Amino acid sequence: MQFTNEVEAVDALHQSFKNIKAEIGKVVIGQDEIIKSVLIAIFSNGHCLLVGVPGLAKTLLVQTVANVLDLDFNRIQFTPDLMPSDIIGAEILGEDRHFKFIKGPIFSNIILADEINRTPPKTQAALLEAMQEKAVTAAGQTHILPPPFFVLATQNPIEQEGTYPLPEAQLDRFMFNVQLNYPAFADELTIVKNTTSNKEVKLGKIISAKEIQYFQKLIRNIPVTDNVLEYAVKLAAKTRPNTELASETINNYVSWGAGPRASQFLVLGAKCHAAISGKYAPDIEDVQAVAEPILRHRIVRNYRAEAEGLTIEQIIKDLF
């Protein structure tokens, strides 16, 4: 892709976002904010955790995104007996009596980690290097994953029997923790009407892997004013109890706050939110727009907060 200046490039990203969202909306009904968050994570080169009860189209959303973006897609169903080699791949002895590496399903552009909390930590950890380094190591050899690379994981919040909660280190690798809610009545009517008939929806390929990589670089080149940068860093710092910027609410109800990675994602997310909204630089409102899904899984409530029924969302709103 060639543009004469960054203004033209941002305009192209803004238009591409609208086209992608409209195409996804043909299949996924009434989840506009969720679709927006997933696309921001992708254009920011981040990963996304989708949390919601069964039947809210988490898997369908990821599959539809992969189709519209014209990317390679693999679904990994996480189960208690899944092994790291089932994800990464393994070395086998070939007919020529030499070992060769057989790539696992992680060698794809978009990975759907379905029910990621249903597999033991040993297997969950197989994703850590891939998510951070965009590479995997097997038998002492490092294998680069095909760019662009994203992990979109799903999790069921209500059925905890037989699950293994994700460790904080792995949760921190996800840019967004997005909560899916039940659809509105009118949206559910449309969903039922569309899915109980013979209606077929054909999706167009809106954007290629090379174009996504171009827009990822564009996002990083978008300028940020000092006051917006300071606001993002202060917002993350305010979540840390017993520090200079911590409020009384944070000191009383939070046992652990967000780390520097949250500050980085707040700035990147704000840049992307501004660009897909047709703006050429982010402001404080853009930081606030992406703050909740970025901070939600990085703030750990203490027992007092749980006993008094204070939610993470209420704590985040108090920060503003």
Low-confidence ranges of the chain (pLDDT < 70): 1-4, 158-162
What is the pLDDT at residue 320?
82
The CATH number linked to 30 is 3.40.50.300
For residue 43, being part of any structural domain is answered with yes
For residues 236 and 291, membership in a common domain is answered with yes
For residues 150 and 232, membership in a common domain is answered with no
Q: In which domain, by residue range, is 152 found?
A: 6-209
For residues 157 and 255, membership in a common domain is answered with no
For residue 27, being part of any structural domain is answered with yes
For residues 58 and 184, membership in a common domain is answered with yes
Residue type, 32: D
Give the DSSP letter of residue 277. T
Q: Which SS3 state, helix, strand or coil, does residue 177 take?
A: strand
d(CA 50, CA 297): 12
Number of domains in the chain: 2
Does residue 30 come out as left (phi exceeding 0), alpha (psi in the -120 to 50 range) or beta? left
For residues 232 and 125, membership in a common domain is answered with no
For residues 159 and 29, membership in a common domain is answered with yes
**Of the candidates 39, 49, 100, 94, the residue with the CA atom closest to the CA atom of residue 71:** 39
Asked whether the beta carbons of 315 and 253 are under 8 A apart, the reply is yes
* pTM for the whole structure: 0.90
Q: Which residues, 6 or more positions from 147, have their beta carbon under 8 angstroms from its beta carbon?
A: 109, 134, 209, 213
